[in-house]
Amino acid sequence: MAARTERSALANWWWTIDRWLLAAIGALIVVGLVLTMAGSPPVAERLGLPTFHFVHRQALALIPTVVVMLAASFLSPRQTRRAALVVFAVSMALIIAALLFGAEVKGSRRWIFGVQPSEFLKPAFAILAAWAFSEGAKRRDTPGNLIALALLPLTIVPLILQPDFGQTLLVCVVWASLFFMAGLHWFWVAFIGGAGFGGAFLAYKFVPHVRSRVIRFLDPSAGGGIVDTFQVDTALDAFYSGGWFGKGPGEGTVKRILPDSHTDFIFAVTGEEFGIAACLLVASIFAFIVLRGLVLASRAEDPFRRFAAAGLSIMFGVQSSINMAVNLHLMPAKGMTLPFISYGGSSLVSLGLSVGFLLAVTRRRPGERLVAEAAPAPPQAPVKDAYA
């Protein structure tokens, strides 16, 4: 462990990083690897692969994930903004390339060169939107709010064309949260809310698979019967089968017929093998990370760091909540992974980048602390002698 008097980059990082946040993320990574061992073997066996094929791939993906997370956490706020701009530009170029040349998978074009670029677009968007809103709040002579307004359609239009409505929803929620933090008028709250409902209605009206998912969620007997809701019904059976304390590691049976037990529905596997108590523990880790990020954001004096920490925390929390809600049949299926738990290389590395940015913007700034210590004490009123 580095001493407080040491002035190396590693020592400075260690004494300025939020170690509670770092420990919670580390715990989540370990839990994710354990749950991948529980949820992925049945899928591997159905595909004729070695039993622990997905476990090995997940463990290998953790190496670049941890490297990216730690490297990003060393960045200063200015370096974070620059890195986010580069990631945003590269991700947008890859998304456009995927639209033009990528293979169509399940009716969408989201992959190019074995990478899903929309996953990396999210943290970069959160950082750039935070910068734009913070500049608009600090300096009225800069078009920060206009940049933020232009950034949203620039980001979501390619996502809609893929189509990827889950990522679009996540980006819109983060942007709306930052817009609200920036102190918008209640008129804009109503306008943005109306635009959101309008967009959801248009998606329901003109996109067949969106309409199908909503109809099946509201009325499982509609649109073709039980086959349409097989995954959600099976996920609920997994929770019922596990009860409070689960069947035990490797003892699950419902997971063997759950198609996406290693990705979108790994939370249901957690319920079957480890019980509802373990699900609550996993949910509490997610809640702690989100709340800790928001608390650190509220303590930041710099508007950019405050907005960035809040935006990244909200994005992490909303994505986690959507996945768990889909597993519990509380909302229509979105195809969104559970952070650090679901299997997936692109998702895992992008989450490492996102969390690395969060660790970077929530670090205590030694320069700010030194300035505070060097500042002269405020003058005090003279104390009158009681015996004068």
* pLDDT (0 to 100) of residue 188: 61
Helix (H), strand (E) at residue 272: helix 266-299
Q: 107 — alpha (psi -120 to 50), left (phi > 0) or beta?
A: left
Answer yes or no: is 178 within a domain: yes
What is the token pair recorded at 179? Answer: 């817009």
Q: How far is CA 45 from CA 9, 38, 42, in A?
A: 47, 13, 5
Which domain does 65 fall in, by range?
16-364
What is the token pair recorded at 234? Answer: 């099976």
Answer yes or no: is 376 within a domain: no
d(C-alpha 87, C-alpha 242), whole Å: 42
Answer yes or no: is 388 within a domain: no
* pLDDT (0 to 100) of residue 31: 93
* pLDDT (0 to 100) of residue 221: 59
d(C-alpha 386, C-alpha 278), whole Å: 65
DSSP 3-state of 108: strand
Encode the chain (388 residues) as per-residue pLDDT tens digits.
555 556 678 888 888 899 999 999 999 999 999 999 888 888 888 888 888 889 999 999 999 999 999 999 999 999 999 999 999 999 999 999 988 887 777 667 788 878 889 899 999 999 999 999 988 777 776 777 888 888 988 998 888 888 788 888 899 899 988 988 877 666 666 666 666 666 666 666 666 656 666 666 565 655 554 445 777 788 888 888 888 888 888 878 888 888 888 888 899 899 999 999 999 999 999 999 999 999 999 998 889 999 999 999 999 999 999 999 988 888 877 778 899 999 888 889 999 999 999 999 999 875 554 333 444 444 554 544 443 3
Answer yes or no: is 372 within a domain: no
What is the token pair recorded at 119? Answer: 């996953």
Domain count, the chain: 1
Contact in structure between 132 and 144 (CB atoms under 8 Å): yes
- Unique residue bearing structure tokens 């002579």: 141
* pLDDT (0 to 100) of residue 93: 93
Contact in structure between 112 and 101 (CB atoms under 8 Å): yes
What is the token pair recorded at 201? Answer: 């209605």
* pLDDT (0 to 100) of residue 72: 95
Contacts by 227-230 with C-beta closer than 8 Å and gap 24+?
A: 230/259
pTM: 0.84
Answer yes or no: is 2 within a domain: no
Contact in structure between 287 and 313 (CB atoms under 8 Å): no
* pLDDT (0 to 100) of residue 150: 87
Answer yes or no: is 379 within a domain: no
d(C-alpha 363, C-alpha 56), whole Å: 33
Answer yes or no: is 171 within a domain: yes
d(C-alpha 306, C-alpha 300), whole Å: 5
| Main-chain dihedrals φ then ψ at residue 115, nearest 5 degrees | -125, 145
Answer yes or no: is 317 within a domain: yes
